[in-house]
Structure 1
């Protein structure tokens, strides 16, 4: 199959990477796993045995109203938490084959929806946000573009740093969440070839 290049030409690409059937369940699993891997998992609370305070019975058993033991119980202010959270990992195992298949499915769906714009090259001469906005306006991309190059330059990263919805990635840093959240993916021809080598 072929992708249309912005200058009017075409680029031959692999059907397995840009023409794959969309597997919603697989894509969802990979996106959730990727997002969970970024979670810190550092939340920590104290149970009734860990809070500071005596475990002595707070009052006599009879004659004082409701019967109760230590004031470290969860029903008292300053007491422990019933099901105290502990630091843990949210990472989910995703096989390499599944990850690559999900990436190819996302790219294929973006291609079917016309949300991939292929350009010969994409860079800015100086680290200026205005220059990047001008280039994006010429390409008529959405409000949340993703720029993918074979090796993003420092000028490009710095130009996009002040734009909250513009993402810049090289092929090695490409991930499913950035692809799914982008309105339009602006990708260079060299980056397309590297993506094919990676996912084919």
Structure 2
């Protein structure tokens, strides 16, 4: 299949296996959730009644003092332990390499079908100026949340995008399913497309 290059009469020939795949919502959802869960720290921790700092001595006599209570470390008291205390754990989900690559192909194919994949010959800025990048993006009509993918993101481009809250710059190695799904438009250079194709083919 062929994809149109923005601002050029030429077309880019790409593989149907990578950019012409059928959309599978279940596959994309599973891979995106697994990717996000892998980034979770999982360090939440609370103390049970046996771990809180405090005496386990009976707080008052058994009879004549109202309610019958034991240790003040019980969950019903302020400063006591937590009933079902959270402990550090891993949220990692196993995703096969084949599934991950298939999901990436599915997302890229759907972006191409929805005209949310804009291919350009090259994309860079001459200096570290946010205003220069804003003007360049405005000419491409990329929406509020663009993702810029280049073969090797230059320092000028990365620093220019740093002050823009919804603009992301990635190289091909840093591409992931969550950033692709979350972008309004994905701006990719022709060289990056070829590199992606080599990676996913």
Shorter chain as normaliser: what TM range? over 0.9
Q: 1:3 maps to what in 2?
A: 3
Residue number in structure 1 paired with 2:114: 113
Runs of 4+ in 1 over 6 A off after TM superposition: none
Paired position in structure 2 for 1:193:
194
Structure 2 equivalent of residue 152 of structure 1: 153
Q: In structure 2, what is the equivalent of residue 87 of structure 1?
A: 88
Rounded to whole Å, the distance in 1 between the matches of 2:195 and 2:113 is: 20
**Pairwise CA distance, 1:87:** 1.2
Task: Give the Cα–Cα distance (whole angstroms) in 2 for the partners of residues 8 and 109 of structure 1.
Answer: 23
Q: List alignment gaps of at least 5 residues for structure 2.
A: none
Distance in 2, matches of 1:180 and 1:124, equals 25
What RMSD, in angstroms, separates the aligned Cα atoms of the two structures? 0.8
1:1-200 → structure 2 map (5 Å cutoff): 1-6=1-6, 7-200=8-201
| Partner secondary structure for residue 117 of structure 1 | strand
Please state how far the C-alpha of 1:137 moved relative to its aligned partner. Answer: 1.1
Measure the CA separation in 2 of the matches of 1:87 and 1:191.
39
Measured after TM superposition, the shift of residue 62 of structure 1 is 2.0
| Displacement after TM superposition at 1:8 (Å) | 2.2
- Residues 131-183 of structure 1: CA deviation (Å, up to 9, x unaligned): 11111111111111100001100000000000000000000000011100100
Question: What is the CA–CA distance in structure 2 between the aligned matches of 1:8 and 1:31, rounded to whole Å?
Answer: 35
Using the TM superposition, give the Cα deviation of residue 108 of structure 1 relative to its aligned residue in structure 2, in angstroms: 0.6
CA distance in 2 between counterparts of 1:130 and 1:58 reads: 67
Count matched residues.
200
Q: 2:93 & 2:156 partners in 1: Cα distance?
A: 35
> Structure 2 CA distance, aligned partners of 1:58 and 1:175?
56
Q: Secondary structure at the match of 1:80?
A: coil
Q: Select between 82-91 and 169-178 the one with higher mean Cα deviation.
A: 82-91
Question: What's the TM-score once normalised by structure 1's chain length?
Answer: 0.98
